[in-house]
Amino acid sequence: EMVLTQSPGALSLSPGDRATLSCRASQNFYSRYLAWYQQKPGQAPRLLIYGASNRATGIPDRFSGSGSGTDFILTISRLEPEDFAVYYCQRYGSSPTFTFGGGTKVEIK
């Protein structure tokens, strides 16, 4: 069973900082099937990145994704106040089980 491990569990940063979030898979898989979501308190998740590096519709270009194999990164180049939230990576696609990572909380320092 695929496990996605996100690190760190929490990140304390200031507006304008760069955020780097990690997602490590327990098995190698095709990067086409790696997504990132953002979730704010009391809200449903929102799709940010799919295929490891493609921004979803309407997502600002300060969000970028990279990686392949077992190691994936979500980068927020300059944090805006609205970016403080929890971020989840997810494996979707070829396997009929769609695993989420445990999440990284980006909080205001």
Q: Which positions from 29 through 48 interact with another protein, judged by CB under 8 A?
A: 32-33, 35, 37, 39, 43-47
Residue with smaller CB distance to another protein, 11 or 35: 35
Residue of 98, 107, 108, 109 interacting with another protein (CB under 8 A): 98
| 63: enclosing H helix or E strand | strand 63-76
Q: In this structure, what token pair is assigned to residue 103?
A: 């999440």
Residue of 64, 75, 77, 102 interacting with another protein (CB under 8 A): 102
Q: Are 34 and 89 spatial neighbours (Cβ–Cβ below 8 Å)?
A: yes
Q: Which positions from 45 through 64 interact with another protein, judged by CB under 8 A?
A: 45-47, 50, 56-57
- DSSP β-bridge partners for residue 23: 6, 72
CA dist., res. 89 & res. 86, Å (int): 10
User: What's the DSSP call for residue 9?
Assistant: S
Which residue ranges make up the site for another protein (CB under 8 A)?
1, 32-33, 35, 37, 39, 43-47, 50, 56-57, 88, 90-94, 96-103
